[in-house]
Amino acid sequence: QVQFIESGGALVQPGGSLRLSCAASGFTLDYYAIAWFRQAPGKEREGVSCISSSDGNTYYADSVKGRFTISRDNARNTVYLQMNTLNPADTAVYYCAATTIGATMLEDEYDYWGQGTQVTVSS
């Protein structure tokens, strides 16, 4: 069974950091581009970051550039999102997703999705 298991979401104060993990089971991540998306209450889901399967190229939304870092550990079949200098605007449910198309922020291109993990930034 193809499955993503996300973890790492929590309540954190503004300026704090979190690391989200996305562990795949039932398939090997090596051949997939992986992205993180997020959906805040009352807003549409948006792409946050993605990483290619082959050369490890990374892409970021302007709103998180310089603060978030996406990485992958194919040996552990896991992708990470390190989030620093968090602010309340980062509050959302974060989802990881996989595609064979290539690194893209277009959610329609993604075949497999995790269940989401809640990140809340608040004092």
What confidence tens digit (pLDDT) does each residue in 24-47 have? Answer: 998 888 899 999 999 999 999 999
pLDDT at res. 103: 86
DSSP letters for 19-39: EEEEEEESS-GGG-EEEEEEE
Q: Does residue 82 contact residue 72 with C-beta atoms inside 8 Å?
A: no
Bridge-based pairing state of the strands 117-121 and 11-12: parallel
The predicted-structure confidence for 56-106, as pLDDT tens digits, reads as follows 899 999 999 999 999 999 899 999 999 999 999 999 999 999 999 888 899
